[in-house]
C-alpha cells in the first residue's frame, strides 16, 4: 500500500480528449470524473482575458470564438510556439498542455485530495523532444512527473490487468503476443508486445504523430465544403467560426457513421444553408488512403518484430477512432483475426498509467512492483559526423530503433587540436543518413577538457536512453575515465527559468 496522500495517478493526455485514473485502495484502476461529471475531458483551451477555460465549454467556443481557442496542442509539442496566436499572444504548446493538465489536476483533487506525483502517457512514436515537452507540460501544471510511458504499453498493461496477468500468480498465464493498434484523435501507434506473466515486453513499435481521428474529420469537412461551394459559391472554411461549427457537425456525423449507414451534416454560412447526406460507404471512400497508411504501418511493425500473423494471439484496439468499423474490418482482412475491443477505448490508457504510477511509488518505497515493462526506442539516435571519404556531414547511428531500453551506447571522439578545451556533439534522431532529414535534438557541449591534451586524445561520449525514451549523456576522457561537465542545449525547449515562470503563471490563473 502507498502511504497516505501518495496517490497513484495516471494521465492520458490526448490530442482531443484526456482522462485521469487512480488506483483505489484495492489497487484497481478507476477513472476519475471531471468537474462536469464526464470520464473524459476535451483537450481544448479557451483564453478569455485573464481567465482560462478548459474542456467542454472551451470546445463549444470553437464554433463562436475560434480565434481564442487552442485545440490539438499535442500535435504541436516539440515546436517552439503553438501554431496560432491566442488573443494576440504566442504560447508554447507545452503551456497549452499545461493548462489542460492543471484543470485535470484540480478536478481530480476534488475527489482524492491533493497530489503531486503522476505518470503521463505519450504516443509510442513520440520522439525525444516531444517526450521532454510532455514532461515540461506536467511540471508547468504543478506536477512531479514520475514517469512518462507509451500509450500502447499502458493499454496493454490495463488489458493484462483486466485479464488477470497481474495477479499474484500472474506467471501462470500463458504468454501472449499482442498487437496494439492505437488510433486516437491526433496520433497513431502500432506496438507489438509480449505479455508473459507480469512481464510486458515491447518487441517493435512504429506510428505517425500526425495521423488521427482529426484527419478523418477534415476529410468530411472538405467533402461538405466542396458541396457547399458548388451550391452557393461560398467556402465556409474561410471563416474560423463557420469552420469550427462545421467541424463539430462533421465530428458528430463521423460518430453517427460508426453506428449507422448514413448521416446528415448541416452547414450554414453567410445566410446560406445546406444539409449534406453522407453514407458510410462514401466516408470510407474519401478516407481510404488514411486507413491505408495505418495498414502499411501495421505490416511494417509486425515485420520489425520478426513475427507473422499466426504468432499474434490478440489484436487490441485502443483510442476513440478505432470505433470506426473500417478499422476492425481492415484488421480482420489483414490478420484474419477479430480485433479485441474489450478494454475501454477511452480509459484503458489512463488505467495503465495509474498502474505504472503505482509501480513507480512502490519502487520508490523500496517495494517490489507488480509487473515489469520492457520498452524499445521508436527512433534511431545518432550523432552528426563527417564522412572521412566525402567530407560530408552524415548521421552516424549510435542506437538503432527498436533497441530494448534502457540502453547504453558509447561513441568515441578525438580532440583535433593541441590543448583543445571543448567538444561539440550534435545529436539527431531519425532513420535518414542525412542530418537535415532527422530531428535535431540538440547539442552536447563538453567543457573544461583537461589542459594540454595532445591532438587525438579519445573522449568517450556515453548515451543512456532511459526506459521512458529520454536521453542522458555521460562524457569521460578516454583512459582515466574522469567524468566531464557537459550541457545538452536543446532546440525548441524552454529553460528552467521559463518553466518556473509558467508553473507560477498557470497556478495563478483562474482556470475553470
Ligand atoms: P482518443 O484520443 O483516444 O480519445 O480519441 C479521440 C478520437 O476518437 C476523436 O477523433 C473522436 O472523434 C474519435 N471518436 C470517438 N468516438 C468515436 C466514434 N464512435 N466513431 C468514430 N470516432 C470516434
**Sorting pLDDT into bands at 50, 70 and 90, what band is 1?**
very low
Q: What is the CATH number of the domain that holds 107?
A: 3.30.420.40
Residue 4 pLDDT greater than 60, yes or no? no
Q: Which of 446, 450, 447, 445 minimizes the C-alpha distance to 419? A: 450
| Ligand 1 centroid, distance to 8 Cα (angstroms) | 26
The C-alpha atoms of residue 138 and residue 476 are separated, in whole angstroms, by 32
- Please report the atom of ligand 1 found closest to the CA of residue 258: 20
Q: Which of 41, 51, 60, 56 minimizes the C-alpha distance to 241? A: 60
* Domain co-membership, 353 together with 435: no
Q: With helix as H, strand as E and coil as C, how does 461-487 read?
A: EEEEECCCCCEEEEEEECCCCCEECEE
| Ligand 1 centroid, distance to 216 Cα (angstroms) | 10
Q: Which of 348, 221, 302 minimizes the C-alpha distance to 294? A: 302
* Domain co-membership, 30 together with 165: yes
Whether 188 is in a domain gets the answer no
Residues identified as active-site: 12, 74, 151, 182
* Domain co-membership, 504 together with 486: no
Q: What is the CATH number of the domain that holds 241?
A: 3.90.640.10
Whether 486 is in a domain gets the answer yes
Copy the grid coordinates of residue 129. 523532444
For 276-302, write each residue's pLDDT tens digit.
999 999 999 999 999 999 999 999 999
Residue where a domain terminates, one of 286, 307, 331: 286
Name the 3-class secondary structure at 405: strand
* Domain co-membership, 489 together with 501: no
Section 71-79 average pLDDT: 94
Exposure string over 332-343, b if 16+ CB within 10 A, otherwise e: eebbebebbbeb
Copy the grid coordinates of residue 380. 534511431
Whether 446 is in a domain gets the answer yes
**Sorting pLDDT into bands at 50, 70 and 90, what band is 416?**
confident
What is the structure's pLDDT at 172? Answer: 44
Domain that residue 219 falls in: 213-286
What is the structure's pLDDT at 249? Answer: 97
Residue 489 pLDDT greater than 80, yes or no? no
Copy the grid coordinates of residue 184. 486516437
Q: Say what the pTM is.
A: 0.90
Residue 445 pLDDT greater than 80, yes or no? yes
The C-alpha atoms of residue 94 and residue 81 are separated, in whole angstroms, by 9
Residue of 16, 17, 183, 213 to test ligand 1 pocket, by largest number of atoms within 8 Å of CB: 213
Residue of 11, 12, 13, 16 to test ligand 1 pocket, by largest number of atoms within 8 Å of CB: 16
List, in sequence order, every residue forming a beta bridge with 262; answer none if it has no partner: 279
Asked whether 17 lines ligand 1 (CB < 6 A), one says yes
Asked whether 320 lines ligand 1 (CB < 6 A), one says yes
For 161-173, write each residue's pLDDT tens digit.
888 776 655 554 7
For 168-216, write each residue's pLDDT tens digit.
555 547 889 999 999 999 999 999 999 988 889 999 999 998 999 999 9
* Domain co-membership, 110 together with 258: no
Copy the grid coordinates of residue 235. 467556402
Copy the grid coordinates of residue 89. 499572444
Q: Measuring from atom 15 of ligand 1, which residue has the nearest CA?
A: 320
Whether 434 is in a domain gets the answer yes
Q: What is the CATH number of the domain that holds 451?
A: 2.60.34.10
Amino acid at each position: 500500500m502507498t502511504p497516505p496522500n501518495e496517490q497513484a495517478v495516471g494521465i492520458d493526455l490526448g490530442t482531443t480528449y484526456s482522462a485521469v485514473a487512480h488506483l483505489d485502495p484495492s489497487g484497481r484502476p478507476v477513472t476519475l470524473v471531471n468537474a462536469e461529471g464526464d470520464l473524459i475531458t476535451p483537450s481544448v483551451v479557451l483564453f478569455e482575458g485573464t481567465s482560462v477555460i478548459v474542456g467542454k465549454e472551451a470546445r463549444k467556443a470553437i464554433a463562436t470564438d475560434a480565434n481564442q481557442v487552442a485545440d490539438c496542442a499535442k500535435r504541436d509539442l516539440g515546436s517552439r510556439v503553438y501554431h496560432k496566436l491566442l488573443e494576440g499572444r504566442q504560447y508554447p504548446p507545452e503551456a497549452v498542455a499545461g493548462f489542460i493538465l492543471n484543470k485535470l489536476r484540480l478536478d481530480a483533487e476534488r475527489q482524492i485530495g491533493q497530489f503531486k506525483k503522476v505518470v503521463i502517457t505519450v504516443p509510442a512514436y513520440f520522439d525525444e523532444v516531444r517526450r521532454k515537452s510532455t514532461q515540461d507540460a506536467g511540471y508547468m501544471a504543478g506536477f512531479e512527473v514520475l514517469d512518462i510511458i507509451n500509450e500502447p504499453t499502458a493499454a496493454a498493461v490495463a488489458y493484462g490487468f483486466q485479464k488477470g496477468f497481474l495477479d499474484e500468480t500472474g506467471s501462470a498465464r500463458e504468454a501472449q503476443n499482442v498487437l496494439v493498434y492505437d488510433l486516437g484523435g491526433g496520433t497513431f501507434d502500432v506496438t507489438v508486445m509480449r505479455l508473459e506473466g507480469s512481464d510486458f515486453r515491447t518487441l517493435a513499435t512504429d506510428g505517425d504523430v500526425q495521423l488521427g481521428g482529426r484527419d478523418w474529420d477534415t476529410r468530411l469537412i472538405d467533402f461538405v465544403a466542396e458541396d457547399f461551394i458548388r451550391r452557393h459559391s461560398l467556402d465556409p472554411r474561410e471563416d474560423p467560426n463557420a469552420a469550427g461549427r462545421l467541424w463539430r457537425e462533421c465530428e458528430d456525423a463521423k460518430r453517427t457513421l460508426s453506428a449507422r449507414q448514413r448521416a446528415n451534416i448541416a452547414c450554414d454560412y453567410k445566410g446560406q444553408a445546406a444539409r449534406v447526406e453522407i453514407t458510410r460507404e462514401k466516408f470510407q471512400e474519401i478516407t481510404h488512403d488514411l486507413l491505408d497508411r495505418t495498414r502499411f504501418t501495421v505490416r511494417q511493425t509486425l515485420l520489425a518484430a520478426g513475427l507473422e500473423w499466426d504468432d499474434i494471439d490478440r489484436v487490441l484496439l485502443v483510442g476513440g477512432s478505432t470505433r470506426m468499423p473500417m478499422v476492425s474490418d481492415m484488421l480482420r482482412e489483414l490478420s484474419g483475426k477479430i480485433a479485441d475491443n474489450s478494454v475501454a477505448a477511452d480509459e484503458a490508457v489512463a488505467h495503465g498509467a495509474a498502474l505504472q504510477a503505482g509501480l513507480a511509488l512502490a519502487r520508490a518505497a523500496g517495494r517490489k512492483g507488480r509487473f515489469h515493462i520492457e520498452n524499445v526506442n521508436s527512433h534511431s539516435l545518432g550523432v552528426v559526423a563527417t564522412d572521412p571519404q566525402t567530407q560530408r556531414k552524415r548521421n552516424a547511428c549510435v542506437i538503432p530503433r527498436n533497441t530494448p531500453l534502457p540502453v547504453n551506447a558509447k561513441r568515441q571522439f578525438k580532440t583535433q587540436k593541441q590543448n583543445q578545451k571543448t567538444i561539440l556533439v550534435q545529436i539527431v534522431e531519425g532513420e535518414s543518413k542525412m542530418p537535415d532529414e532527422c530531428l535535431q535534438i540538440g547539442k552536447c557541449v563538453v567543457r573544461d577538457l583537461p589542459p594540454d591534451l595532445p591532438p587525438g586524445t579519445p573522449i568517450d561520449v556515453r548515451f543512456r536512453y532511459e526506459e521512458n525514451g529520454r536521453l542522458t549523456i555521460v562524457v569521460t576522457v578516454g583512459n582515466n575515465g574522469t567524468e566531464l561537465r557537459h550541457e545538452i542545449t536543446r532546440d525548441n525547449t524552454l529553460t528552467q527559468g521559463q518553466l518556473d515562470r509558467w508553473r507560477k503563471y498557470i497556478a495563478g490563473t483562474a482556470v475553470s
